[in-house]
Structure 1
Protein backbone atom coordinates (compact mmCIF):
# COMPACT_ATOMS: atom_id res chain seq x y z
CA UNK A 1 0.00 0.00 0.00
CA UNK A 2 1.34 3.45 -0.86
CA UNK A 3 0.97 6.85 0.82
CA UNK A 4 -1.95 7.91 -1.36
CA UNK A 5 -4.12 4.97 -0.29
CA UNK A 6 -3.20 5.53 3.37
CA UNK A 7 -4.18 9.20 3.25
CA UNK A 8 -7.49 8.40 1.53
CA UNK A 9 -8.27 5.70 4.12
CA UNK A 10 -7.45 8.10 6.97
CA UNK A 11 -9.75 10.80 5.53
CA UNK A 12 -12.57 8.32 4.90
CA UNK A 13 -12.18 6.93 8.44
CA UNK A 14 -12.23 10.45 9.92
CA UNK A 15 -15.37 11.39 7.96
CA UNK A 16 -17.05 8.14 9.04
CA UNK A 17 -16.30 8.85 12.72
CA UNK A 18 -17.58 12.45 12.46
CA UNK A 19 -20.78 11.35 10.68
CA UNK A 20 -21.37 8.68 13.34
CA UNK A 21 -21.03 11.30 16.09
CA UNK A 22 -23.44 13.64 14.28
CA UNK A 23 -26.06 10.90 13.90
CA UNK A 24 -25.76 9.92 17.59
CA UNK A 25 -26.05 13.58 18.67
CA UNK A 26 -29.15 14.20 16.57
CA UNK A 27 -30.93 11.10 17.89
CA UNK A 28 -30.35 11.94 21.58
CA UNK A 29 -33.47 12.65 23.62
CA UNK A 30 -33.94 14.03 27.10
CA UNK A 31 -31.83 17.14 26.60
CA UNK A 32 -33.84 20.22 27.52
CA UNK A 33 -33.06 23.81 28.30
CA UNK A 34 -33.48 24.66 31.95
CA UNK A 35 -36.62 26.64 31.10
CA UNK A 36 -38.77 26.94 28.00
CA UNK A 37 -38.67 30.75 28.01
CA UNK A 38 -34.90 30.99 28.43
CA UNK A 39 -34.47 34.09 26.24
CA UNK A 40 -37.24 36.06 27.95
CA UNK A 41 -35.69 35.29 31.33
CA UNK A 42 -32.28 36.38 30.05
CA UNK A 43 -33.67 39.79 29.12
CA UNK A 44 -35.25 40.12 32.59
CA UNK A 45 -32.04 39.05 34.35
CA UNK A 46 -31.17 42.49 35.84
CA UNK A 47 -34.62 42.63 37.48
CA UNK A 48 -33.93 39.17 38.90
CA UNK A 49 -30.62 40.39 40.35
CA UNK A 50 -32.44 43.33 41.96
CA UNK A 51 -35.07 41.02 43.52
CA UNK A 52 -32.33 38.83 45.00
CA UNK A 53 -30.40 41.84 46.29
CA UNK A 54 -33.47 43.24 48.08
CA UNK A 55 -34.19 39.82 49.62
CA UNK A 56 -30.59 39.56 50.86
CA UNK A 57 -30.98 42.92 52.60
CA UNK A 58 -33.78 41.57 54.83
CA UNK A 59 -32.76 40.87 58.41
CA UNK A 60 -34.19 37.36 58.33
CA UNK A 61 -33.86 34.09 56.48
CA UNK A 62 -37.10 33.66 54.55
CA UNK A 63 -36.75 30.00 53.49
CA UNK A 64 -35.77 27.23 55.89
CA UNK A 65 -35.83 23.49 55.28
CA UNK A 66 -36.52 20.98 58.05
CA UNK A 67 -35.00 17.73 56.81
CA UNK A 68 -36.53 15.63 59.59
CA UNK A 69 -40.15 16.47 58.78
CA UNK A 70 -39.43 17.29 55.10
CA UNK A 71 -41.11 20.67 55.45
CA UNK A 72 -40.31 24.09 54.03
CA UNK A 73 -40.81 26.98 56.45
CA UNK A 74 -41.37 30.52 55.21
CA UNK A 75 -40.93 33.64 57.33
CA UNK A 76 -43.24 36.04 55.51
CA UNK A 77 -45.47 38.85 56.80
CA UNK A 78 -49.21 38.27 57.11
CA UNK A 79 -51.12 39.01 53.90
CA UNK A 80 -48.20 38.28 51.59
CA UNK A 81 -48.97 36.53 48.32
CA UNK A 82 -46.15 34.27 47.23
CA UNK A 83 -45.24 32.00 44.35
CA UNK A 84 -43.24 28.89 45.18
CA UNK A 85 -41.50 26.87 42.47
CA UNK A 86 -40.05 23.47 43.26
CA UNK A 87 -37.52 22.99 40.47
CA UNK A 88 -35.90 19.63 39.68
CA UNK A 89 -32.95 20.27 37.30
CA UNK A 90 -32.67 16.64 36.22
CA UNK A 91 -36.34 16.13 35.25
CA UNK A 92 -38.67 18.98 34.27
CA UNK A 93 -41.74 16.74 34.53
CA UNK A 94 -41.34 16.79 38.34
CA UNK A 95 -41.35 20.61 38.62
CA UNK A 96 -44.18 22.09 40.68
CA UNK A 97 -45.55 25.58 41.17
CA UNK A 98 -47.56 26.57 44.23
CA UNK A 99 -49.24 29.93 44.82
CA UNK A 100 -50.15 30.69 48.41
CA UNK A 101 -51.12 33.54 50.69
CA UNK A 102 -49.85 33.98 54.24
CA UNK A 103 -52.86 34.17 56.56
CA UNK A 104 -51.22 33.97 60.00
CA UNK A 105 -48.41 35.71 61.86
CA UNK A 106 -46.61 32.41 62.41
CA UNK A 107 -44.34 30.74 59.88
CA UNK A 108 -46.05 29.23 56.87
CA UNK A 109 -45.11 25.63 56.17
CA UNK A 110 -45.31 23.51 53.03
CA UNK A 111 -44.71 19.77 53.12
CA UNK A 112 -42.35 18.37 50.49
CA UNK A 113 -42.50 14.77 51.72
CA UNK A 114 -44.24 13.61 48.53
CA UNK A 115 -41.44 14.88 46.28
CA UNK A 116 -39.07 12.40 44.68
CA UNK A 117 -35.77 11.98 46.55
CA UNK A 118 -32.86 13.97 45.21
CA UNK A 119 -31.67 17.51 44.51
CA UNK A 120 -34.24 20.33 44.32
CA UNK A 121 -34.14 24.11 43.99
CA UNK A 122 -36.77 25.95 46.00
CA UNK A 123 -37.51 29.31 44.35
CA UNK A 124 -39.75 31.79 46.18
CA UNK A 125 -41.09 35.05 44.72
CA UNK A 126 -43.13 37.48 46.78
CA UNK A 127 -43.86 41.16 47.24
CA UNK A 128 -43.17 43.03 50.46
CA UNK A 129 -43.70 46.79 50.98
CA UNK A 130 -44.25 47.23 47.23
CA UNK A 131 -40.91 45.62 46.34
CA UNK A 132 -40.61 42.34 44.47
CA UNK A 133 -38.32 39.84 46.21
CA UNK A 134 -36.80 36.48 45.30
CA UNK A 135 -34.96 33.88 47.32
CA UNK A 136 -33.66 30.48 46.31
CA UNK A 137 -32.57 27.55 48.43
CA UNK A 138 -31.03 24.28 47.29
CA UNK A 139 -32.23 21.22 49.17
CA UNK A 140 -31.76 17.45 49.06
CA UNK A 141 -34.63 15.21 50.02
Structure 2
Protein backbone atom coordinates (compact mmCIF):
# COMPACT_ATOMS: atom_id res chain seq x y z
CA UNK A 1 0.00 0.00 0.00
CA UNK A 2 1.35 3.37 -0.97
CA UNK A 3 0.96 6.31 1.46
CA UNK A 4 0.53 9.71 -0.14
CA UNK A 5 1.55 13.01 1.46
CA UNK A 6 -1.96 13.78 2.81
CA UNK A 7 -2.12 10.47 4.65
CA UNK A 8 1.39 11.10 6.02
CA UNK A 9 0.38 14.48 7.44
CA UNK A 10 -2.72 13.02 9.09
CA UNK A 11 -0.65 10.19 10.61
CA UNK A 12 1.94 12.71 11.86
CA UNK A 13 -0.82 14.78 13.51
CA UNK A 14 -2.34 11.70 15.14
CA UNK A 15 1.08 10.63 16.40
CA UNK A 16 1.81 14.09 17.81
CA UNK A 17 -1.58 14.36 19.52
CA UNK A 18 -1.14 10.88 21.03
CA UNK A 19 2.31 11.87 22.29
CA UNK A 20 0.97 15.05 23.97
CA UNK A 21 -2.05 13.27 25.51
CA UNK A 22 0.22 10.56 26.91
CA UNK A 23 2.32 13.14 28.80
CA UNK A 24 -0.74 15.09 30.00
CA UNK A 25 -2.23 11.89 31.41
CA UNK A 26 1.08 10.78 32.92
CA UNK A 27 1.74 14.10 34.69
CA UNK A 28 -1.80 14.41 36.04
CA UNK A 29 -1.69 10.95 37.65
CA UNK A 30 1.96 10.91 38.78
CA UNK A 31 2.49 11.49 42.54
CA UNK A 32 6.01 12.82 42.09
CA UNK A 33 4.62 15.87 40.26
CA UNK A 34 2.69 17.26 43.21
CA UNK A 35 0.88 20.55 42.57
CA UNK A 36 -0.38 21.34 46.08
CA UNK A 37 -0.47 24.84 47.48
CA UNK A 38 2.19 25.72 50.03
CA UNK A 39 -0.41 25.86 52.79
CA UNK A 40 -3.94 24.52 52.91
CA UNK A 41 -5.38 27.82 54.22
CA UNK A 42 -3.52 30.11 51.85
CA UNK A 43 -5.91 33.10 51.92
CA UNK A 44 -6.37 32.95 55.68
CA UNK A 45 -2.61 33.04 56.16
CA UNK A 46 -2.27 35.92 53.72
CA UNK A 47 -4.58 38.06 55.86
CA UNK A 48 -2.31 37.62 58.91
CA UNK A 49 0.84 38.50 56.96
CA UNK A 50 0.98 42.06 58.38
CA UNK A 51 1.30 40.59 61.89
CA UNK A 52 4.31 38.60 60.69
CA UNK A 53 5.89 41.75 59.26
CA UNK A 54 5.34 43.59 62.54
CA UNK A 55 6.80 40.74 64.61
CA UNK A 56 9.87 40.51 62.39
CA UNK A 57 10.35 44.28 62.54
CA UNK A 58 10.01 44.28 66.33
CA UNK A 59 12.72 41.60 66.60
CA UNK A 60 15.06 43.83 64.62
CA UNK A 61 14.17 46.96 66.60
CA UNK A 62 14.65 45.29 70.00
CA UNK A 63 17.81 43.47 68.90
CA UNK A 64 16.11 40.14 69.60
CA UNK A 65 17.53 38.30 66.63
CA UNK A 66 18.04 34.55 66.87
CA UNK A 67 21.03 32.57 65.73
CA UNK A 68 20.47 29.17 64.08
CA UNK A 69 23.47 26.87 63.89
CA UNK A 70 23.99 23.34 62.57
CA UNK A 71 25.89 21.03 64.94
CA UNK A 72 26.58 17.29 65.23
CA UNK A 73 23.61 16.83 67.60
CA UNK A 74 21.19 18.66 65.34
CA UNK A 75 20.02 22.21 64.81
CA UNK A 76 20.59 24.66 67.68
CA UNK A 77 18.58 27.87 68.00
CA UNK A 78 20.22 30.45 70.27
CA UNK A 79 17.93 33.00 71.90
CA UNK A 80 19.27 36.33 73.19
CA UNK A 81 20.96 35.87 76.57
CA UNK A 82 19.48 39.05 78.03
CA UNK A 83 15.99 37.47 78.00
CA UNK A 84 14.85 35.14 80.78
CA UNK A 85 14.57 31.75 79.08
CA UNK A 86 11.69 30.62 81.33
CA UNK A 87 9.49 33.47 80.10
CA UNK A 88 9.99 32.65 76.41
CA UNK A 89 7.15 30.77 74.73
CA UNK A 90 6.12 30.08 71.17
CA UNK A 91 6.38 27.56 68.36
CA UNK A 92 8.99 26.34 65.89
CA UNK A 93 7.77 25.38 62.42
CA UNK A 94 9.94 23.29 60.11
CA UNK A 95 8.70 23.34 56.53
CA UNK A 96 10.08 21.03 53.86
CA UNK A 97 9.23 22.41 50.37
CA UNK A 98 9.74 19.08 48.63
CA UNK A 99 7.69 16.87 50.98
CA UNK A 100 4.77 18.09 53.09
CA UNK A 101 4.81 14.89 55.15
CA UNK A 102 8.09 16.00 56.77
CA UNK A 103 6.66 19.34 57.98
CA UNK A 104 6.52 19.63 61.74
CA UNK A 105 5.56 22.14 64.43
CA UNK A 106 6.49 21.95 68.09
CA UNK A 107 6.32 24.28 71.10
CA UNK A 108 9.30 26.11 72.53
CA UNK A 109 10.29 24.98 76.02
CA UNK A 110 13.61 26.31 77.22
CA UNK A 111 15.78 25.61 80.25
CA UNK A 112 18.83 27.38 78.77
CA UNK A 113 19.16 30.14 76.19
CA UNK A 114 19.21 27.62 73.36
CA UNK A 115 16.85 25.09 71.82
CA UNK A 116 18.09 21.84 70.26
CA UNK A 117 16.21 20.26 67.37
CA UNK A 118 17.51 16.67 67.21
CA UNK A 119 19.29 15.45 64.10
CA UNK A 120 16.87 12.51 63.65
CA UNK A 121 14.00 14.91 62.80
CA UNK A 122 15.86 16.52 59.91
CA UNK A 123 16.46 14.87 56.56
CA UNK A 124 19.19 16.26 54.31
CA UNK A 125 17.97 18.99 52.01
CA UNK A 126 16.35 22.42 52.13
CA UNK A 127 14.30 23.47 55.17
CA UNK A 128 12.41 26.67 55.90
CA UNK A 129 12.42 27.36 59.63
CA UNK A 130 9.97 29.81 61.19
CA UNK A 131 10.18 30.62 64.89
CA UNK A 132 7.26 32.54 66.41
CA UNK A 133 8.08 33.46 69.99
CA UNK A 134 6.86 35.77 72.71
CA UNK A 135 8.56 37.45 75.62
CA UNK A 136 6.67 39.65 78.11
CA UNK A 137 3.81 40.37 75.72
CA UNK A 138 6.04 41.15 72.73
CA UNK A 139 5.74 38.91 69.67
CA UNK A 140 8.83 38.13 67.61
CA UNK A 141 9.36 36.22 64.39
CA UNK A 142 12.47 34.68 62.89
CA UNK A 143 12.43 33.08 59.44
CA UNK A 144 15.35 31.39 57.79
CA UNK A 145 16.00 29.07 54.87
CA UNK A 146 18.74 26.52 55.39
CA UNK A 147 20.20 23.50 53.68
CA UNK A 148 20.79 20.68 56.12
| TM superposition score normalised by structure 1 | 0.78
Is residue 65 of structure 1 aligned with residue 74 of structure 2? Answer: no
**Equivalent-residue separation in structure 2 for 1:60 and 1:15 (angstroms):** 59
Of residues 107, 126, 130, the one that matches 1:123 is 130
RMSD of the alignment, in Å? 2.5
Aligned counterparts of 2:132 and 2:56: Cα–Cα separation in 1 = 10
Q: Which residue of 2 aligns with 1:17?
A: 19
Q: Structure 2 unaligned segments of length 5 or more: list them.
A: none
- Of residues 40, 61, 67, the one that matches 1:36 is 40
Q: Distance in 2 between matches of 1:66 and 1:7?
A: 61
TM-score by length of 2: 0.75
SS where residue 114 of structure 1 aligns?
Answer: helix
Match of 1:86 in 2: 94
Alignment correspondent of 2:7? 5
Distance 2:93 2:142 in 1: 11
Deviation at 1:129, TM superposition (A): 5.2
Which whole-Å CA distance do the structure 2 matches of 1:7 and 1:43 have between them? 54
Structure 2 Cα separation of the partners of residues 71 and 17 of structure 1: 47
Unaligned runs of 5+ in 1: none
| Deviation sequence 1:50-97 (CA, Å, 0-9, x none) | 332333334243132142442422315331211111222222222221
CA contact (8 A) 1:63 1:137 kept: no
